[in-house]
Structure 1
Amino acid sequence: MDSNSSNSRVSVACETCRRRKRKCDGMRPACSLCIAKRAACQYNAEKRNRRRFDADYVRGLEDQIAMLNDALHRSQPVDAVSFTEDVPPERNQACANVDDDAASPAAVTSAMPDSMATAIEDVSALIWRMSIESNGEEAFIGPSGNFCFPVAHREDMGMGGQKHTPPTSLTGSGPKEDSFGSGRTDIRDTKSYLLDLFTQYVNPIQQFIDTETLKKLHGSHLNADLTLIKTAALAAGALHADDAKSRAVGEEAAAVVDAMVMQHCRESPSVSTVQALSIMCWRELGMEEHNMAWMYNSMCASMALHLGLPVSMTQENVVFNSEPVNVHQEPDTHHIRLRALWSSVFMDRIATSLLGRNCMLPWRRIKAQSFISTVGSAPSLDELAFDHQCRLWFIHDQHMDRIYSFEFTSLSSAEKSRILLDAREKLYAFRRQIDARMRLGRSQVVLPSIIYLHISYHMSHILIHRPYLKEATQQSSMYQLCVRAMSTAAASIVRLLREYRKVAPLDHMPPFVVHSVLTAAVTHLCNATSTHQGLRSASIAQFRVCFQALWVMQQRWIKARRAIRLLRELARRWQVMAALPLQHGFPACSDPRGEVSEEEQLESGWLPMEETHEEEDTALLDTAEDKFRLDNFPKIT
């Protein structure tokens, strides 16, 4: 037999040779070894799935080794604690997205260009920003809200206090325009349409209302509590409507809730009031009405505390006139209370992250059962994803509360390192404990809520590492770790955006995902200032994917529109205008022939580019990223 053929690898080995771990020549209908041994030779026609290792999990294990090494030094004096990570040198360079012949991290920081130093300083700065909008309202934004960078925020002068009206050019199946005001039947159809939108796009992610209550909302002759919830649901669902009539009904519903909610708070405070307030907070955040969003969030948290939702009510902790009393809650009531608690907690964390403020329901004050414990033995995938979101944001809040506090800058380097180590350890532990149904794989059912969960996870990784980039000037290993962690997390968000485009339109993503995409885009844009060609090229390609996603989402969400303006201003400030897509890399100016400028198109929501060049631009981005793809970035499997 020829030596080359004996050493050749066959595509499929027979089951007998595979079981006995011997080399099979792949001959059909029987291989040579089975013929010689007179054994039964069978081939399995089904394709075998190769075992895939979760790169994120492997990275977590390597980081756990670093944490254990660091723990060995904790018995030493505080000043002696160092922050090191014992990982292979080739992985350290690859994860930092540099070529094999690149300079060492110390040389990189010493030769850092001015634009990169400015970008790192801007991203890592803990700045709180107070702005005055055009209507005279004050707006306070914290560093995690992504709008505290030292650039001109022209949108505050042009959109402050104005109601957002999505363009009517969006494709939709809402009621027709000419039926407006034609009678009660059309209004009833519009309300049913808005409830369907709320049920399809809002409630699966936020879990404001249980399935039974949703069915009741479609009926008539509702009591006062259900009427309040229904009216709030109509107002929230209108943000996903594409026709003027549905949006008008949503505005009227919001005005009714404004008038009803205070009366309910005074006369009949209940769990339904908490649910309605939480829904209205979601709506106002989607409209970028920060003042009203925070007011609704504060009222929701206050009412939840007043009703004792953050603490599981049992016979042991219910007291009346200093004497214990027997209190028995119906199972349905207990289920509704826990759902209202966790939906309001989730909404509070979203508002806190988007606006960069402190939580109204602190994690230290919550001692209740998990959400999943109330939905039965067979929760839906949306309910399971929501439970994971609550757990994730609970962990995120614990560490963001320390990293983004005013006292953080006064801590010693060792104390800061310990905080980051603890945050990373908790996030990786959460990652390992994710339910198998929540993992993304070829054989798994992929729902938007599952993708949102993974996006939130990676966004949390980026935000907890941001302030530590200041260590770049000290040429420390902490800076290398933060760059690697933020880069891999931002790259994962890009892959998740590509996955999401296969299952749902981007413009129906919830507002808090816009914040996550912007967080990843800022990270990629910061990396684009690097002098290393590998990092720069890959970051530009991935930044454009985020920019394209925000461009699509700005049709519906003002935050995406503001994000696009912010990224353009940062690209100018950091001297990386080449990172912007070609049609967005030029200064906006009015055409002397009377044509609409690109800036005016962005302001009005008119998007001819999206209609004529969407497939071309998407293909361009796919090709560019495939060219500069980094194999070391973790893939969600």
Structure 2
Amino acid sequence: MMWRMNLGDGAVITQDGDSALSYEIAAECAVESSHISPPDEILRYSRDSNLLSELASVFLDNINQEHQFTPYTSPSFLDQYPYQSIDETFLHTAILATGAAFLASRDPNMAKVGEDFAKYAEKLVFDCCRYRPTLSVIQGMCILSFRSLSIGKDHLGWMFISMAGGLCVHLRLHVLALDECAGRALKPTSPEIRTFWMFYFVDVSAITILGRNCALPWRRVNVPEFHTTLNAETADLAELSFAWQSQLWYTHAEAMDQIFAPSFEKLAMAQQIRLLVSTLEQLNTFFRSKPHQLHMNNDAPKPIVFFHLQYHMAIMIIISSFLRSFTSSNTPGINEAESNSSLLVLRSITSAASETIRLCRLYRDRYTFTMAHPIIVHHLLSAILVHLMNATSSDITLRRQSSRWLRTGMGLMDELRETWPTRVNKCIRVVRVLAQKWGAVGALPMAFAAPVEPSAQERESPRQDASYFSRLNDPAQTSVGVYDGHDATPFNGHAWQTGEMSSVSELLGAFGSLSSLPDLGWLYEGQDFDTSGS
């Protein structure tokens, strides 16, 4: 007898009247205490209804819709907090901690409030997994992961999203569409489908920031699309945007699975080029098929802006892999097909980076950065690194135009510092270090042109994932074509992969053969260079 044990580690075989097998999820039986005894700080905060309402409202107004974390639309879920069931208390504590994170940079008291709520949530999480492993617990873990990544605590962000992935598997959320489920009357519910795609979206955000493998690989996912939970009459724009973003990243994961396969670099260049073209065509076809509600304009609501930002991020991530591939084949005898493909790669990633900065500027002008979504920091960093790469070219036109976009992006990044200081400071430091290493400091605004020295902690840490300086100083990884700022002689070499913040994830590479491609100024044709609003 063979069957797939992919319903989670709680699946058991039982008898039913119609067949020999059916699946049930075995729940661990445990007696939950009649109430939870919160710390004194939490009890004190809970008596301040205005504080709780403010934190919940900040969460609901600024990120809940974009990520579809919960179905809540008002702070009424806080009635009886913190004397609720343990899973609900955990979820609501995570919400309050995240709401406080948006206010912490402007109110030092909120920083402490947020940390107190976060610590309380961390104390609850394992009891939740043991006694009440519910959808609320997955939601709370994803919210804590989002919060941790936003404030620069990447290790906690990765831990929480990994735990959420494990619980998704235990509750068999990743296989809701399997034939076995349909055959055994395990009908997926709308909350289950929505919770899975909410987790998947945060997982994708985490891996693009940290440069790691996803907590739950796409090949193990067999879930009805988020669209199936929408009511055509009542669905709002945020839900529609989220549904299309989820589909975008699932499509993206399929392509990346081929690109990052061990066999990819063994493929002949012609095969890699075919994969590149087919991948871009697949994404472009998807983008063109979007509903009219998601078309971009200068008055676009936030959900539309975020959908377009995610699309351009997907392009940059995919193209960066081909940068490495084409650069590693950088030889004097490059043929016409490879040269044309190199131009396609460069044009695609440059266009995506420029559009990302333009969208971030539009977001700033329309909504301000006072309560900016923290994912904008990551989008900006990715675009900035592309333009920094282009600034290493010996082509004067390309260098000048990329420098203008780079300065606009750095100006926007600096403005975000007020809301997300820790994350932004890490990003700016990475850009300055790479500009210094690549000889492109002259392309940065004067405020960021000073030399950067490694801190004592960075000198002492030998781990590559803890110190980007250790990796920057690795000659095997830093041979890169750069413009040194003094003459037009490039130093052609191989691509070097860098990434974001403390994890030094592999995201974007420097394209070492830019000097061999003539007349690169056309890369920016038709793109808006007006930086007056920056």
* TM-score after normalising by structure 2: 0.71
1:528 aligned residue (376, 391, 404) = 391
Structural RMSD (CA): 2.7
Q: 1:181 to 1:275 in 2, by over 3 A?
A: closer
Matched, 1:257 2:121: yes
What's 1:462 paired with? 316
1:477: Cα distance to partner?
2.0
Unaligned 5+ segments in structure 1 are 1-179, 590-627
Counterpart-to-counterpart distance in 1, 2:446 and 2:71: 47
Task: Give per-residue Cα distances to partners, 1:383-440, cap 9 Å, x unaligned.
Answer: 1111111111112222223323444323321332232122112110111111211111
Q: Is this contact kept in 2: 1:312–1:367, CA < 8 A?
A: yes
What's 2:406 paired with? 543
1:224 aligned residue (64, 83, 86) = 86
Counterpart-to-counterpart distance in 1, 2:46 and 2:139: 28
Q: 1:368 to 1:545 in 2, by over 3 A?
A: same
Matched, 1:236 2:98: yes
Q: Is this contact kept in 2: 1:540–1:579, CA < 8 A?
A: yes
Task: Give per-residue Cα distances to partners, 1:20-67, cap 9 Å, x unaligned.
Answer: xxxxxxxxxxxxxxxxxxxxxxxxxxxxxxxxxxxxxxxxxxxxxxxx
1:248: Cα distance to partner?
1.8
Letter paired with 1:348: D
Letter paired with 1:283: R
Counterpart-to-counterpart distance in 2, 1:548 and 1:362: 36
Counterpart-to-counterpart distance in 2, 1:536 and 1:382: 38
Q: 1:526 to 1:318 in 2, by over 3 A?
A: closer
1:505: Cα distance to partner?
2.1
Task: Give per-residue Cα distances to partners, 1:175-231, cap 9 Å, x unaligned.
Answer: xxxxx9996686332221111111111212111101368642356554333222111
Task: Give per-residue Cα distances to partners, 1:454-485, cap 9 Å, x unaligned.
Answer: 11211221221123234252442221111111
Q: 1:573 to 1:215 in 2, by over 3 A?
A: same
Task: Give per-residue Cα distances to partners, 1:150-181, cap 9 Å, x unaligned.
Answer: xxxxxxxxxxxxxxxxxxxxxxxxxxxxxx99
2:48 is paired with a residue whose SS is helix
What's 1:380 paired with? 236
Query: Counterparts of 1:296-335 in structure 2 under 5 Å?
Result: 296-312=160-176, 317-318=180-181, 326=185, 334-335=189-190
Unaligned 5+ segments in structure 2 are 1-40, 454-521, 530-534
Question: Percent of pairs identical after alignment?
Answer: 29
Letter paired with 2:527: F
Q: Is this contact kept in 1: 2:45–2:51, CA < 8 A?
A: no
Matched, 1:572 2:415: no
What's 1:453 paired with? 307
Query: Counterparts of 1:583-622 in structure 2 under 5 Å?
Result: 583-587=447-451
Counterpart-to-counterpart distance in 2, 1:390 and 1:325: 27
Letter paired with 1:281: S
Counterpart-to-counterpart distance in 2, 1:327 and 1:629: 53
Matched, 1:409 2:270: no
Counterpart-to-counterpart distance in 1, 2:162 and 2:524: 44
Counterpart-to-counterpart distance in 2, 1:293 and 1:501: 26
**Structure possessing the higher relative contact order (Cα contacts under 8 Å, 6 or more residues apart):** 1
Matched, 1:279 2:143: yes
Q: Is this contact kept in 2: 1:462–1:486, CA < 8 A?
A: yes
1:344: Cα distance to partner?
0.1
1:233: Cα distance to partner?
0.4
What's 1:207 paired with? 68
Letter paired with 1:439: H
Query: Counterparts of 1:331-410 in structure 2 under 5 Å?
Result: 334-377=189-232, 378-410=234-266
2:365 is paired with a residue whose SS is coil
Q: Is this contact kept in 1: 2:241–2:304, CA < 8 A?
A: yes
Query: Counterparts of 1:140-179 in structure 2 under 5 Å?
Result: none
1:548 is paired with a residue whose SS is helix
Counterpart-to-counterpart distance in 2, 1:402 and 1:222: 46
Counterpart-to-counterpart distance in 2, 1:181 and 1:353: 34
Counterpart-to-counterpart distance in 2, 1:462 and 1:516: 10
Counterpart-to-counterpart distance in 1, 2:418 and 2:148: 17
What's 1:197 paired with? 58
Q: Is this contact kept in 1: 2:52–2:96, CA < 8 A?
A: yes
Counterpart-to-counterpart distance in 2, 1:232 and 1:256: 9
Task: Give per-residue Cα distances to partners, 1:525-559, cap 9 Å, x unaligned.
Answer: 11112222221111111001111111122233323
1:375: Cα distance to partner?
2.9
Letter paired with 1:434: K
What's 1:489 paired with? 352
Q: 1:340 to 1:577 in 2, by over 3 A?
A: same
Letter paired with 2:415: V
Q: 1:306 to 1:538 in 2, by over 3 A?
A: same
Letter paired with 2:71: D
1:355: Cα distance to partner?
0.9
Counterpart-to-counterpart distance in 2, 1:189 and 1:289: 28
Q: 1:480 to 1:630 in 2, by over 3 A?
A: closer
Letter paired with 1:486: I
Q: Is this contact kept in 1: 2:244–2:307, CA < 8 A?
A: yes
Counterpart-to-counterpart distance in 1, 2:177 and 2:289: 28
Task: Give per-residue Cα distances to partners, 1:63-114, cap 9 Å, x unaligned.
Answer: xxxxxxxxxxxxxxxxxxxxxxxxxxxxxxxxxxxxxxxxxxxxxxxxxxxx
Letter paired with 1:458: H
Q: 1:498 to 1:327 in 2, by over 3 A?
A: closer
Aligned length: 407
Q: 1:583 to 1:325 in 2, by over 3 A?
A: closer
Q: 1:325 to 1:576 in 2, by over 3 A?
A: closer
1:633: Cα distance to partner?
3.4
Counterpart-to-counterpart distance in 1, 2:289 and 2:42: 53
Matched, 1:420 2:276: yes
Counterpart-to-counterpart distance in 2, 1:437 and 1:327: 34
Q: Is this contact kept in 2: 1:550–1:560, CA < 8 A?
A: yes
1:579: Cα distance to partner?
0.9
Counterpart-to-counterpart distance in 1, 2:74 and 2:170: 23
Counterpart-to-counterpart distance in 2, 1:326 and 1:531: 64
1:581 aligned residue (423, 437, 445) = 445
Letter paired with 2:318: I
Letter paired with 2:111: R
| Rg comparison, structure with higher value | 1
Q: 1:290 to 1:588 in 2, by over 3 A?
A: closer
Q: 1:181 to 1:219 in 2, by over 3 A?
A: closer
Letter paired with 2:405: Q
Q: 1:326 to 1:468 in 2, by over 3 A?
A: closer
Letter paired with 1:285: L
Task: Give per-residue Cα distances to partners, 1:485-529, cap 9 Å, x unaligned.
Answer: 111111111211221122212353333332221111111111112
Task: Give per-residue Cα distances to partners, 1:114-170, cap 9 Å, x unaligned.
Answer: xxxxxxxxxxxxxxxxxxxxxxxxxxxxxxxxxxxxxxxxxxxxxxxxxxxxxxxxx
Counterpart-to-counterpart distance in 2, 1:235 and 1:439: 34
Q: 1:227 to 1:250 in 2, by over 3 A?
A: same
Matched, 1:439 2:295: yes
Q: 1:290 to 1:184 in 2, by over 3 A?
A: closer
What's 1:268 paired with? 132
Task: Give per-residue Cα distances to partners, 1:325-361, cap 9 Å, x unaligned.
Answer: 55567xxxx1211111110000111111111111122
Counterpart-to-counterpart distance in 1, 2:74 and 2:220: 28
Counterpart-to-counterpart distance in 2, 1:310 and 1:467: 28
Letter paired with 1:569: V
Q: Is this contact kept in 2: 1:195–1:233, CA < 8 A?
A: yes
Counterpart-to-counterpart distance in 1, 2:272 and 2:213: 20
What's 2:416 paired with? 553
Counterpart-to-counterpart distance in 1, 2:74 and 2:168: 19
* TM-score after normalising by structure 1: 0.60
